[in-house]
Amino acid sequence: MSKPLDLRRFPDLPPEVIKALETQQAALEKAQFEVSVERAARLHHQADAEEKGALVITLTALVEKLESQVADYRRTKFGPKSEKLTPDQLELALEDQETAIAETKAEIENVQAALEKKPQNKSKAPRKPRKPRALPEGLPRVERVIEPDSIACPCGCGDMVKIGEDRSERLDIIPAQYQVIVTVRPKYACPKGRTGVTQAKAPAHLLENSWPTEALLAHITVAKFCDFNPLNRQSVAMARNGAPIDRAVLSDWMGRTGALIAPVVDHMAMVLLKGSTRLYVDETTAPVLDPGRGQTKTGYFWAVLRDDRGWSGSSPPGVVFHYRPGRKGEYAAEILNGFNGTIQVDAYGGYSALATPKRVGGKPLKLAYCWSHGRRALIKAQPKAGSPIVDEALVRIAALYKIEAEIRGLPPEQRRAVRQDQSRPLVDKFFAWLHAQAGRVSRKSELGKALAYMLSRQDGFCLFLEDGHVDMDSNLVENAIRTPAMTRRNTLFAGHDDGARSWARFASLIGTCRMNDVEPYAYLHDLYTKLANGHLEKDIDALMPWAYASQTSSSGTP
């Protein structure tokens, strides 16, 4: 930029010349100023564009990272590899992947927020605000009102008036706190010694002559069998919070409590068998310590589940776990003794004898096989390079499930009518197609075995077409056995057969609570209190989890 001309150096110039030079000089200074502003603006826009470009590159990399994480999540949850994971392993894997996805999303939101602060194209539509998330209405609210330091009006007219307010919510926690309840029962006697002593009757306790209240017992039960926190870890946490109780003492409390709830679970098992015509049955391993051999032996939890909501049945859902030291068919016969109807099962051979006239304990049962197990066998047999046979089979099975989703909750007659009209043609074509494919595949191959798995059990797979009470699969009972499976992973094993039976009883109550949307702690606290007060002899039906659900819903208790 050139320096301005000093006109004082030329005193002899005529006034009109000086005026013209001053005008030209002013115009030059204005032009130079505009050029400098334009250069500064150009540099600013260039720096802004470079910064925005760096943010876009970062955002692109984060989006690619998120897509990769989501793909891994879907592969873990839905892909063939998920068939090799136990339910507890799958839950832990998904938990870590969900955490990583949430972290990446947070990074993306930060970069997007930085981009939104930059000047945007005015022609681009503004981003829609996200719908605010709300915390559950059932949680207690504690209002904290923050007033300004002063509401005096600066104009001197007095105090300002309230015209509105802003509200925000945050989730808080009250840490666990142990306390000792001291029960005092004063004794009264006649001052003249003419009568005996008067004293209030001692309150009933579930575990007489022991420290724990029914609330504490319910808390320990839920922590172990619902939240999968073993007693040794609970003991450490209790000591940290000021209540040093040894693990052996907690085990004693749980063992005695497990014996007291046995009549409740036994009655629940009887209700499921006597009041149903269709049940789900499945089994899962239960490692039990075998001191004589210095290692564990394999016992089994046999799950018997009732859920009639699929066909709009009125009976409440429930599940009972029975511990047995093995997986022999005789155990299934023993557990289902007295039941007549249909059981929805996998293809385990232990159930086959129950469908024959030789069955002891009732009439021959109908076996409805699980389509999910058939589908799973096909996926497992699929070669790494893929198989058009498996792909076609999965598409055909998916069409059946689509029909099932549309008729869920309808009465049995309507479900059967729809299945006869829509599903039966698809099933007939499916098995005819399977027969044709089986002739093209080696019987010794994994795919040949998967095809034979369904073809040899065609009647059981087709049973749902004839009975509107029956579902296509046994997924409900498979979901139910995840609870003892997760407890098993954290506890490793039961210390004794009796301990495994107690474990099965607690799992039965908690599993039935979940099926009836009952909060397990609230139910167990109520159950233990009623058992302590002798309610078992009065009305055992009122102690069932579904009865508690009915009582709380009618009384309006959340």
**Residue-level pLDDT at 100:** 75
The mean pLDDT value for 400-408 works out to 95
E strand or H helix at 33? helix 15-78
pLDDT digits (tens, 9 = 90+) for 244-301: 999 889 988 998 999 999 999 999 999 999 888 999 999 988 877 666 655 677 888 9
Terminal-residue alpha carbon distance, the chain: 79
* 387 or 89, higher pLDDT: 387
| pTM of the full structure | 0.75
Q: Single out the residue of 496, 502, 498, 504 nearest to residue 296, CA to CA.
A: 496
**Residue-level pLDDT at 461:** 95
**Residue-level pLDDT at 42:** 75
State how far the Cα of 173 lies from the Cα of 544, in Å rounded to an integer.
31
Name residue, tokens 């040899």.
Answer: 456
For residues 355 and 367, the answer to whether their CB atoms sit within 8 Å is: yes
- Look over the chain and give the mean of its residue pLDDT values, rounded to a whole number: 85
Token pair recorded at residue 350: 């232990």
The mean pLDDT value for 23-38 works out to 74
Q: Single out the residue of 277, 478, 484 nearest to residue 363, CA to CA.
A: 277
The mean pLDDT value for 388-405 works out to 94
**Helix residue spans in 336-442 (DSSP H):** 371-381, 388-407, 412-418, 424-438
**Residue-level pLDDT at 556:** 58
